[in-house]
Amino acid sequence: MKTIFTEKHKLRNAKTELYGGQLVEPFERPSRAEFIIERVRQAGLGAIVDPQDFGLDPVYKIHNTHYVDFLQVAWDHWKAENFAGEAIPTTWPARRMSDRVPEFIEGRLGYYSMAVETSISDGTWEAAYWSAQVALTGAAEVQGGEKGVFALCRPPGHHSALDMYGGYCFLNNAAIAAQSLLDNGAKRVAVVDVDFHHGNGTQDIFYERNDVLFASLHGDPSHAFPHFLGYSEEKGEGDGAGFNINYPMKPGTRFEEWRAALADALDNVRHFAPDALVISLGVDTFENDPISFFKLKSEDFLTYGADIAQLQLPTLFVMEGGYDIDEIGINTVNVLQGFTGE
């Protein structure tokens, strides 16, 4: 299996995250990708390929133009105000407030963000841009005949909505890849999100569409980020009614229950009969993950990789979360090896 990867992910190296009332080292850090790529090499998974540059047109097909334009200049505008720290929003257009876009950078950060933990720093835009190019290159490889491809995207993307960032995500790599597949010949694409956290951004993007089936397995938003989306009654609207499926699960969920939800999701994919499958691959379902509460063990990732392979669909794995640095490479590659049967 080919892996698409770029060292430019290191440009995203924020130093601060608001967690538990303190500014801490971000859980989403460069070492995540370094541990994964090292395990890819150790396992002999396959060729490691640099991304092509597809430009911004595929990004603009998913994200609001003004939002993308904001991301490109946010850090420069923040620095122009001579603020000492990284760019963190402090105010939002909450209930019954104006939806007008402010001019001052503090207000613009709040307008385009969904959460406060994700700071913007030097290099954030460049890393996010190339993360999307990694996903687009993976999609092109799948459409070129590869059975399975791993897009080692960093920063991740599934919390990024049409016009919002947060949850460590700026551009929705999986959604951008899915749209690229559609633009280049696919009639239908399924996106299955196995990250611990709900893929609220992907849901937001495709919620009124019937050419993309979205299914997400995740921690119950009553207890887990992003809290305000991901409930089972959210099934899509308009043309998208019935094409959005959520599987929220309670704290302490073990593999047997999680795997049953995956089986139902894959059965829905089978009935949808897509031309390609995109997996938002988060391995923060692991029992020792520091910001999650599922109980999957390392061997379980092998098992569900094989479950996904049974669909026999061209499949793009797009890296999302996973914050247990010691095991992140093992668990990620276990899914991929389970899929390939190696």
> Is residue 53 classed exposed, middle or buried when 0-12, 13-18 and 19+ CB atoms within 10 A define those classes?
exposed
For residue 35, what are its two tokens? 């541990």
Whether residue 139 contacts residue 177, with contact meaning beta carbons closer than 8 Å, is answered with yes
Whether residue 203 contacts residue 248, with contact meaning beta carbons closer than 8 Å, is answered with no
Grouping H, G, I as helix, E, B as strand and the rest as coil, residue 315 is strand
Side chain identity at 63, as an amino acid letter? H
Query: For the chain, give me the number of helices (H) and strands (E)?
Result: 10, 10
Annotated catalytic residue: which of 9, 158, 159, 197? 159
CA distance 192 to 216: 6
CB burial readout 219-245, b (16+ within 10 A) else e: bbbeebbbeebbeeebebeeebeebbb
Side chain identity at 341, as an amino acid letter? G
17-19 and 22-24 strand pairing:
antiparallel
Grouping H, G, I as helix, E, B as strand and the rest as coil, residue 341 is coil
Asked about 159 being catalytic, the answer comes back as yes
CB burial readout 252-285, b (16+ within 10 A) else e: ebebeebbebbeebbebbeebebbbbbbbbbbbb
CA distance 123 to 9: 9
Whether residue 187 contacts residue 211, with contact meaning beta carbons closer than 8 Å, is answered with yes
Catalytic residues: 159
